[in-house]
Amino acid sequence: MSTETVIKPDHEAGRKHFIFTQEHEDLRESMTDWVKKELYPHRNEWEETKWPDSAMQRAGELGYLGLCFPEEYGGQGGDYYYSLVRAEALSHSANGGLGMGFAVQTDMVLPPVHLLGTEEQKQKYLAPGIRGERIGALGITEPGAGSDVAGIRTTAILDGDEYVINGSKTFITNAARADFMVLVTKTDPDAGHDGITLMLIDIRDENGNDLPGFSVAQNLEKMGMLSSDTGELAFEDFRVPADSVLGQVGKGFYHISWELQSERLVAAAGSNASAERLLETAIEYAKDRNAFGRPIGKFQAIRHKIADMATKIEASKQFTYSVAWRVNNGEYPVREISMAKLLSAQMACEVADQVIQIHGGYGYMKEYEVERAYRDLRLNRIGAGTDEVMLEVIGRSYGL
């Protein structure tokens, strides 16, 4: 290297990842602006009241719910990367419950309707779902079966031209507000994995009243994600038309396993982005807070914590993006999706813990809001498949 060409580190260089185009970045900017203006200011209030349906409607009006769906249903026709951009933008709401409620709609309920639904089902659920006029919920988990999806007991038995549904679901996000559901049922209880069928059903009428045979048995109190509603649902001789089947009869286990993959990768993007927001808060705090006559960020112990978090966040983010690139290019990399979900969730929980530590006693106070992230993020190691289930999927993928 000659003396004229001294190259210095450029820490402020642009960090746009190669998977994202300028259109993705423009969307990120406009959506982040909206989140900061219209959602972030309500982050504390909504912990008490739950986020309002009007927030979803507004997102629909602005086109944020249909980013990856075809224009003929009111979507924007974008690629899979837009799901990641949306999850990242929502992290600026500083409200995990809202991000989760939105993700149920955009990344868990609507994708299977789009992939598997008949034209009639798409008109009835996908199009109004994209507009934010109808809100959906996903019902997999039951009191007796969570990780073990094939162990569910809810039945949907054909009776003439109707299915009769009986059973209960628990921990269901959007339970108190949803108009419709993708429900995992057993149409042939003796057929194991091949007896599972997805149902796409209305659960409330246009006035928001429960349809006969459906009820919320309990609104559940929880540790975090407080702005989101979580419920236990009961179906008692709940009758739905035979054409409520989503996808193929008996193939529901495989359909839902597919749905879980994209949900997990979006969850990974959300974990990474939440960790990034926490890191920004910690850096700011480490510069402002003085102890022993200097900003705490000047203590190596704190600086190293920040460096360590920044390194892990960056690695997890890059890995998530590389897996998303494979998905967007037509692969189905279940092993790596599971790795991204596991790594990002554990990393985000570790970051939340360290960021509270950096804030000292203030980290423990509600006022500084890092305690909320700590509580909210803890779910990411449980929901959408626990750490242990991710490890099982990864381990078994090597033939073990």
Ligand X SMILES: Cc1cc2nc3c(=O)[nH]c(=O)nc-3n(C[C@H](O)[C@H](O)[C@H](O)COP(=O)(O)OP(=O)(O)OC[C@H]3O[C@@H](n4cnc5c(N)ncnc54)[C@H](O)[C@@H]3O)c2cc1C
DSSP character for 51? Answer: -
- Contact flag: residue 392 with ligand X (CB under 6 A): yes
| Binder of ligand X out of 29, 242, 388, 396 (CB under 6 A) | 388
Annotation marks residue 142 as catalytic? no
Q: How far is CA 9 from each of CA 12, 47, 314, rounded to the nearest angstrom?
A: 9, 42, 17
- Contact flag: residue 363 with ligand X (CB under 6 A): no
Minimal distance in Å, beta carbon 100 to ligand X?
7
Give strand pairing partners of 159: 162
- Please list every residue from 119 through 138 that binds ligand X, using CB under 6 A: 138
- Please list every residue from 206 through 245 that binds ligand X, using CB under 6 A: 222, 225, 230
| Binder of ligand X out of 34, 46, 171, 374 (CB under 6 A) | 171
- Contact flag: residue 354 with ligand X (CB under 6 A): no
Minimal distance in Å, beta carbon 330 to ligand X?
27
The closest alpha carbon to 115, from 70, 159, 84, 85, belongs to: 70
> What character string, x for contact with ligand X (CB under 6 A) and - otherwise, covers 7-46?
----------------------------------------
| Binder of ligand X out of 94, 140, 313, 340 (CB under 6 A) | 140
Minimal distance in Å, beta carbon 176 to ligand X?
12
| Structural tokens at position 392 | 């099982």
Residue 198: Cβ-neighbour burial (10 angstroms; 0-12, 13-18, 19+):
buried
Which long-range contacts does 56-63 make (Cβ < 8 Å, 24+ apart)? Answer: 56/101, 56/102, 56/105, 56/132, 56/135, 57/131, 57/132, 57/133, 58/132, 59/102, 59/132, 60/130, 60/131, 60/132, 60/133, 61/131, 61/132, 62/31, 62/34
Strands 180-186, 136-139: pairing is parallel
| Structural tokens at position 100 | 């989760």
Q: How big is the CA angle at 44 (ends 41 and 50), to the nearest 5 degrees?
A: 105
Output 134 or 317, the one with its CB closest to ligand X. Answer: 134
- Contact flag: residue 104 with ligand X (CB under 6 A): yes
- Contact flag: residue 389 with ligand X (CB under 6 A): yes
- Contact flag: residue 252 with ligand X (CB under 6 A): no
d(CA 51, CA 98): 6
Give strand pairing partners of 238: 165
Which residue of this chain has its Cβ atom nearest to ligand X in the complex? Answer: 146
Minimal distance in Å, beta carbon 366 to ligand X?
20
Output 116 or 309, the one with its CB closest to ligand X. Answer: 116
CA 84 to chain centre: 10
Question: Which residue among 47, 259, 263, 371 is the active-site one?
Answer: 263
- Contact flag: residue 141 with ligand X (CB under 6 A): yes
- Contact flag: residue 168 with ligand X (CB under 6 A): no
Output 200 or 389, the one with its CB closest to ligand X. Answer: 389
Residue 71: Cβ-neighbour burial (10 angstroms; 0-12, 13-18, 19+):
exposed
Minimal distance in Å, beta carbon 173 to ligand X?
3
The closest alpha carbon to 334, from 246, 252, 265, 236, belongs to: 265
Minimal distance in Å, beta carbon 137 to ligand X?
6
- Contact flag: residue 167 with ligand X (CB under 6 A): no
Interface with ligand X by CB under 6 A: which residues? 104, 138-141, 146-147, 171-173, 222, 225, 230, 379, 382-383, 385-386, 388-389, 392
Catalytic (active-site) positions: 263
